[in-house]
Structure 1
Amino acid sequence: MSVLDRFKLDGKRALVTGASRGLGLQMALALAEAGAEVGITGRDAVSLKEAADTIRSRGRKAWTFQGDMSKPAECEATCEAALAEMGLIDILINNIGERGMNVKIEDTTLETWQHYVDQNLTSCFLATRIIGGAMLRRPEGGRIINTASISGMIANKGIAGRHYETTKAAVIHFTRCAAADWAPYGVRVNAICPGLFMTQPNRKWAENNPEVIKTFVSAVPMGRAGEPEELGPLAVFLASDASSYVTGSTFVIDGGYTIW
């Protein structure tokens, strides 16, 4: 097998959560271009259909599963539906998560805290338990990629909403724990920690908080924010046989921001 052949995902089936737009969609498209058939989850039926049509334009089969993964019961039901409809799932990308509210610790209500714990962390756990648990029961194992964040490694300057940093840090360590437990079963678990990527929510954030974005970008050695499509190749690497000896690792992709 050639080096490039090891990146191919022909015959594989992947589920990417939160993939109707942004980084999730770009990772789903990258997997499709590498040969995988792809299922995606999202809250909005219209954007889900548009995303699935884009995947199909790459010549791949696509499934859509509408559900709010921040609600544990709905997250469980969505994952069970994906397993029932797709059958074997070889690759899971847990991509749900957002900062949402820019609120100080002292002003954070328990309701807000719990909402983002469920959205950013519990959704990752439930999908891993359900989809990853099914991978354990077959000899070929599987691959799980958790979208964490460099915010799980640092405390961002000038930005509130510490529920985000806290939950993303937990995702990173959950990745290590799952990788340790499941390596003997052929299930590899890794995390991606993106820096600032100009997704639709971050473009809106830049409009409302231009100085915060300007300050952040000024601290990036490469001098710019990332574009969403730049994340796709890393997802393909972790989903493919090219990373066959990689598990429990955290991959930072931030233009060098965390070098300092």
Structure 2
Amino acid sequence: MSIFDRFRLNGKRLLITGGSRGLGREMALAIADAGADVVLVGREATSLKGTADDIRALGRQAWAIEGDVSQPDQCEAICNQVLQHHGPIDILINNVGGRRIDVQIEDQTLEQWQQIIDLNLTSTFLCMKYIGKSMIERGQGGRIINIASISGMVANRGIGGRSYETAKAAVMHLTRSAAADWAPHKITVNAICPGGFMTAPNIRWANDAPEMIKGFRQQIPSGDFGQPEDLGPLAVYLASDASRYVTGAAMVIDGGYTLW
């Protein structure tokens, strides 16, 4: 068997939240290219359709579900819909997340706090609860990949909304805890911690605060931001048999930013 065969995902099925744009889209396309069929969840019908069409062009099946997993009731309903109509799920990527606000701790409202916690942490918990449980009951193992952030390790300079850093740190520890609990079921649970990537929100941030972005770039040893497609190979690795013995890890992909 070739070493490359261990990265193949033929016959597998992926569920990815926030899978139609940015980092999610690139991970979905990479995993489809490796052989898996894909269930996409997102809020925008147009981008969902576009990404689903691109997956089908690779010769894989794709299903698009429009919904907002940051709303706990919608998240639960989506998970149940997926399991009923598109299961079984072999790979789960909890990709939905974001900062969305630039508000200092002393001015942040409880409602704002809860919105960001639900977006980044509660959605991850609920998808793990339902999809992870189905993996346990099925008894054939599985792969769960949670998209955390280097912001779960450091406080970002010059921007508020610390609920984001808090949620991403919690995602990392939820990853470790679930990895310990589910290892006997042959379910691996790992986190990817991206640094600066030029996704649409960061492009908008760059337009609004060019000096801040310039300073951020200067602090990256590699000299520039990552591109969304850089995440695809790492997602394929963690989704495949090649990472069979890796669980509870938080894999940093940040061009060296957190080294300093």
Pick the TM interval, shorter chain. Answer: over 0.9
The one-letter amino acid of 2:239's match is: A
Shift of 1:139: 2.5
* Whole-angstrom CA distance in 1 between matches of 2:10 and 2:174: 29
Q: What is the number of residues matched between the two proteins?
A: 260
Rounded to whole Å, the distance in 2 between the matches of 1:249 and 1:65 is 29
- Following superposition, the deviation at residue 239 of structure 1 comes to 0.2
The question of 1:157 aligning with 2:141 is answered no
The code of the aligned residue for 2:208 comes to N
Matches for 1:11-50 after TM superposition, within 5 Å: 11-50=11-50
Deviations 1:95-154 (A, max 9, x none): 010000011101100000001111100000000000111000122110000000000000
Matched, 1:136 2:136: yes
State whether residues 65 and 81 of structure 1, in contact with CA within 8 Å, keep that contact through their aligned partners in structure 2: no
Q: d(CA) in 1 for partners of 2:53 and 2:213? A: 32
Alignment partner of 1:208 is 2:238: no
Partner SS for 1:204: helix
Tell me, yes or no, if structure 1 residue 105 matches structure 2 residue 76: no
Structure 1 segments unaligned to the other structure (5+ residues): none
Confirm whether residue 125 of structure 1 aligns to residue 125 of structure 2: yes
Aligned to 1:174: 174
**2:250 match:** 250
Distance 1:8 1:197 in 2: 26
- The corresponding residue for 2:231 is 231
Matched, 1:116 2:128: no
| TM-score for both structures, normalised by structure 2 | 0.99
Cα distance in 2, alignment partners of residues 116 and 181 from structure 1: 26
Deviates more, 1:234-243 or 1:205-214: 205-214
Runs of 5+ consecutive residues of structure 2 not aligned to the other structure? none
Structure 2 letter corresponding to 1:253: I
Q: Which amino acid aligns with 1:212?
A: M
Runs of 4+ in 1 over 3 A off after TM superposition: none
Equivalent residue letter for 1:54: D
Structure 2 residue identity aligned to 1:169: A
2: CA distance between counterparts of 1:82 and 1:202? 30
1: CA distance between counterparts of 2:43 and 2:35? 26
Once the two structures are superposed, residues 1-47 of structure 1 have per-residue CA deviations (whole angstroms, 9 ceiling, x without a partner) of 32110000000000010111000010000000000000110011111
What TM-score, normalized to structure 1? 0.99
- Between 1:55-64 and 1:228-237, the stretch displaced more is 55-64
Counterpart for residue 75 of structure 2: 75
> What code does the residue aligned with 2:102 have?
N
Q: Name which of structure 1's ranges 78-87 and 176-185 shifts more when overlaid on structure 2.
A: 78-87
Q: Which amino acid aligns with 1:2?
A: S
Q: Distance in 2 between matches of 1:256 and 1:56?
A: 35
Deviation (angstroms), 1:57: 1.3
Residue identity matched to 1:45: A
